[in-house]
Amino acid sequence: MKLFYAPTSPFVRKVMISAHELGLVDRIELVPAAVSPINRNADVVAQNPLGKIPALVTDDGVALYDSRVICQYLNSVASGQVIPPEGPARWTALRDEALGDGLMDAAVLIRYETFVRPEPLRWQEWIDGKFEAARSAVRGIEAQAQALEGRNDIGVISIACALGYLDFRNPEFDWAALAPRTAKWFAGYKAHPSFQATMPK
């Protein structure tokens, strides 16, 4: 399999952690791919018309995207448990994946607004709205922090990637101050070799 990737994308990281946990890393060839909302990458567009990463090309030559679909596919290839097959554990995992993804979306839009967009065109209310969404998401994670313990499904992987991305891009946001129980869980989660092997650089 080939994965179009960038080492700083939290959505790519979600896929890579899943691949580590599923024992599939050695079967994935990484293809470095820089993308931006303004400048499109033709190599990526050829596989994913949306021009976004991660995009996976399977051994059968089928292009799959986005990160959620790729994680479901990898779980299927490995007959794994990153995606619980049914019941409440499945819906909690998928719902928490959406929560982590939504937090990442907010953080990436903050990054675009405060780093990519020309300064005179930045809109403070938009930035405020995205930070409020991020705070709300962190509070939502904190409200169920006890339920994160001991899990290793796509929900906690996504939440960990989102928190790691905030630490990487917005350390001054200090999410841990809003979510002390989550911070305690995250301190333990960080020890996973899959998390250590995928730290953004």
| Of 7-15, 21-29, 66-74, 185-193: span binding a copy of itself (CB under 8 A) | 66-74
The only residue of 15, 17, 106, 161 in contact with a copy of itself, by rule CB under 8 A: 106
Q: How many CA atoms lie within 13 A of 17 on its CB side?
A: 33
Query: DSSP string spanning 7-55?
Result: TT-HHHHHHHHHHHHTT-GGG-EEEE----SSS--HHHHTT-TT--S-E
Q: Starting from the edge strand earliest in sequence, which strands make up the sheet with 2-5, in order?
A: 29-32, 2-5, 55-57, 63-64
Determine contact, residues 30/24, Cβ cutoff 8 Å.
Answer: no
Tell me, residue by residue from 142 to 181, as one string, x for binding to a copy of itself by CB under 8 A and - for no binding: ----------------------------------------
Residue 112 or 197: which CB sits closer to a copy of itself? 112
Query: Is 129 one of the binding residues for a copy of itself (CB under 8 A)?
Result: yes
- Contacts with a copy of itself by CB under 8 A lie at 37-40, 45, 48-52, 62-66, 68-69, 72-73, 76, 86, 88, 91, 94-95, 97-99, 101-103, 106, 117-118, 121-123, 125-126, 128-130, 132-133, 136-137, 139-141
